[in-house]
Amino acid sequence: MSVPSLLFVCLGNICRSPLAEAAFRRQIEEHKLDFLCDSAGTGAWHIGEAPDRRAQKIALENGIDIRHYKARQVIKQDFEIFDYIFALDQSNLNHLTSMAPKSGKAKVMLLMDLVPSCKGEAVNDPYYGSLEDFGKTWKQVQTASYYFFKNFLY
């Protein structure tokens, strides 16, 4: 049996989705689980770039080094590979839904739908914001990861 696989998708793959990937990886490590995790962007502007420095800093402060992550664009094959594709906001969810092949196995959903009190909400886009905004983003993705593994484990 293959390991469960999760993909996180925002616009540029340099701020929100790398932080979501990092938060989930931390839980995976903590619980000694075996998961495949990746992140991607619906846009192509930042392909090959490392995460935004502010995202790197917030992740490092929370015990995860994401400096080696490289931005990539989501592709149709992702829908065959991943069990879950989590969109960080509604516009990226719409983009994913519109490109999803009929044969895809992936369940595509909003990340914050994992959090019972935050259904339908977007993860804060910190790109034009401050380090504090990145901290807010981190809290949201960390909460989502907490609920995902709570449901997965118990």
Instruction: Provide the minimum distance between the beta carbon of 136 and ligand 4NP in the complex, in angstroms, as a whole number.
Output: 13
Which of 7, 12, 69, 79 binds ligand 4NP (CB under 6 A)? It is 12
Under the binding rule (CB under 6 A), the answer on residue 54 touching ligand 4NP is no
The DSSP bridge partners found for residue 41 are 10, 73
Q: Taking the CA of residue 75 as centre, how many other CA atoms within 13 Å lie in the half-sphere pointing to its CB? A: 6
Judge whether 47 and 73 are in contact, CB under 8 Å. Answer: yes
Question: Residue 35 to residues 54, 62, 80: CA-CA distances in angstroms?
Answer: 26, 20, 16
What does the angle CA 118 – CA 100 – CA 122 come to, to the nearest 5 degrees? 20
Q: Which stretch binds ligand 4NP (CB under 6 A): 4-12, 20-28, 59-67, 110-118?
A: 4-12
Instruction: Provide the minimum distance between the beta carbon of 43 and ligand 4NP in the complex, in angstroms, as a whole number.
Output: 7
Identity of residue 37 = C
Under the binding rule (CB under 6 A), the answer on residue 104 touching ligand 4NP is no
Q: Which of these is catalytic: 16, 37, 38, 54?
A: 16
Instruction: Provide the minimum distance between the beta carbon of 142 and ligand 4NP in the complex, in angstroms, as a whole number.
Output: 16
Site for ligand 4NP in 28-47 (CB under 6 A): 41, 45
Under the binding rule (CB under 6 A), the answer on residue 127 touching ligand 4NP is yes
Continuous H helices in 35-123? 53-61, 78-81, 90-99
Q: Which residues are catalytic?
A: 10, 16, 125
**Residues in contact with ligand 4NP by the rule CB under 6 A:** 10-16, 41, 45, 125, 127
